Amino acid sequence: MIQDQFSRRSLFLSALSQLALRGQDTTFSADVKVINVLATVRNKQGQIIKDLKKEDFSLEEDGRPQTIKYFSRETELPLTLGLLVDTSGSQRQVLGQERSASARFIDQVIREAKDMAFVIHFDFETELLQDLTSSRKKLRESIQDIQPPQLQRRQPQGSGGGQGRRGGGGTVLYDAVMLASDELMRNQGGRKALILLTDGVDTGSKVGINEAIESAQRTDTLIYSILFFDEQAYGGQRPGPMMGGRRRGGYPQPMPPPGMNHPDGKKILQKMSRETGGGFFEVTKKLPIEEVFDRIQEELRSQYSIGYSSDKPNGGAGFRSIRLNTSQKNLIVQTRDKYYSAR
C-alpha cells in the first residue's frame, strides 16, 4: 500500500515534464450523456438561497433552451476535494495560519464514508503530498508537511529522489491546477472542487492561465480561490496590476525588481473561479481565513445539482456554453459557463 502511494507520487511529479509537450492540445475522451451543473444562488446581499425548486430555473446550451431532467437541493453527491497550497517565498509568513485553518476545514467537510481529498503544494515545483484518501488523519498529517521550499522536506523512500521536479525559480500555480485536474480529478465522479491558497502570482509555469482553466472545465472541477498574501513580501504593497506572469510564447516571466508591478493575483484568481463556477475570497482583517473556509463549507453544502441531456449530443467535440438563470429577479447564480463535449 505504501509503495503504491509512493509510486503514484512519483508519477504525479513526472507528469509535470509532459506539460510542455502537450501544451494546448490536451483533450479528454468522455462519453457525455448527462451534463451535471452545480450552482450556488445568492441574493444581492450575498446570502445563499436554499429553497428554490426545479421550476425556478431555466437553462440554455449555446443559446438553445434545454430540459432540466435531474434536480436536487443540498446535494449529497460524493465530494472530491483538492487542497493546493502556495509555498513560494512570498507566502512564508502566512503558511502557519493556512495550515491550521486547512486542517480544521478538512475535519469539517470530509465525510470519511463518502468523500475524498488530496493535498498539493507548489512553489518552483508541484508536489503531491497526499494522494486521494478519505482519511482525515492522513490529510491532516500531509497539511503539517507543508513548508517553504528552503526548509528540508521529507523525502519518502521510493519516491525517486524528486523525479520530475523542476529546477529554477518562480511559482507554478497554473501547472499545479492543470496537474490536479488532469492527473487526479479526471476519473472522479460526483462533485469536484479545488481550493487554492495563494497570492495568485505565477512566474514559472509551463502552461498559461487559459490552459489551466480549461483543464478544470474539462473535468467539471470548481475552483475556489483564497487570496492570502504577505504584504511585506511585496515591499508593503499588494501584487498588481500587471495581468499574467508569462510572456507570449509560454516562457516564464521573471519577477520584476522591488518597487515594480507584479502580476495582479486578485484578477487572476477571480478569473479562475468565475470561469469554473467556483468562488473567490480575499483574506482581510475583517474576513479571517477561518471565516473564509466557513463560507466555502456553506457553499459546498448548499449547492443545487442540475442535470440535463443535450438536444445535440453529437454536435462535435469542443466547449459548449451554458447559461443558467432563475425566474426570480435579483438573484445571482454562481455556476460554470461552459462544459467540454468529446463528440
Mean pLDDT of 21-41: 64
| Cα–Cα distance for residue pair 18/303, rounded to 1 Å | 35
Helices of type H across the chain: 2-15, 19-22, 95-109, 136-144, 173-179, 209-218, 265-276, 289-300
pLDDT value for 316: 85
Q: Are residues 70 and 149 in the same domain?
A: no
CATH of the domain at 231: 3.40.50.410
With respect to residue 10, please indicate whether it lies within any of the assigned structural domains. Answer: no
Asked whether residue 233 falls in the same domain as residue 85, the answer is yes
pLDDT, one tens digit per residue, over 91-145 is 888 889 999 999 999 999 999 989 999 999 999 999 999 999 999 999 999 999 9
Kindly report which listed range (2-16, 205-219, 258-272) carries the lowest average pLDDT score: 2-16
Band of pLDDT at residue 170, cut at 50, 70 and 90: confident
Q: Could you tell me if residue 1 is inside a domain?
A: no
Domain of 53 in residue numbering reads as 35-74+314-342
Q: Which of 13-17, 287-291, 328-332 has the lowest mean pLDDT?
A: 13-17
Q: Is 26 exposed, middle or buried (0-12, 13-18, 19+ CB in 10 A)?
A: middle
Decide if 126 is inside a domain.
yes
| Helices 95-109 and 136-144, axial angle in degrees (round to 10) | 180
Do 199 and 269 lie in a common domain?
A: yes
Residue 127 placed within a domain? yes
Amino acid at 301: R
Backbone angles phi, psi at 317, to 5 degrees: -75, 145
Residue 91, all three cell numbers: 507566502
Tell whether the model's pLDDT for residue 29 goes beyond 90.
Answer: no
**Domain co-membership, 147 together with 273:** yes
- Does 239 have pLDDT greater than 60? no
Q: Is residue 212 domain-shared with residue 236, that is, in the same domain?
A: yes
Mean pLDDT, the chain, rounded, equals: 81
Indicate if the pLDDT at residue 20 is higher than 60: no
Residues 46, 190 share a domain: no
Q: Return the higher-pLDDT residue of 180 and 163.
A: 180
Would you say residue 309 lies in a domain?
no
Q: Are residues 148 and 267 in the same domain?
A: yes
- pLDDT tier, 214 (very low <50, low <70, confident <90, very high otherwise): very high
Rounded CA-CA distance 27/272 in Å is 19
Domain-located, residue 158: no
Domain total in the chain: 2
Q: Are residues 218 and 325 in the same domain?
A: no
Domain assignment present for 15: no
- Nine cell digits for residue 12: 504525479
Residue that wins the pLDDT comparison between 59 and 263: 59
The single-letter DSSP state of residue 182 is I
Q: Quick one: 290 and 219 in the same domain?
A: yes
Q: Is the separation of the CB atoms in 223 and 193 below 8 Å?
A: yes
**Residues 337 and 245 reside in one and the same domain:** no
Cross-strand pairs, 161: none
Asked, for residue 308, whether it belongs to a domain, the answer is: no
pLDDT band at residue 33 using 50, 70 and 90 as cut-offs: confident
CB 61 within 8 A of CB 306: no
For 53-98, how does the pLDDT look when each residue is reduced to its tens digit (9 = 90+)? 999 999 999 999 999 999 998 767 889 999 999 998 878 888 899 9
Question: Is pLDDT at 183 greater than 80 in this prediction?
Answer: yes
129 and 233 in a single domain? The answer is: yes
Same domain, 263 and 338: no
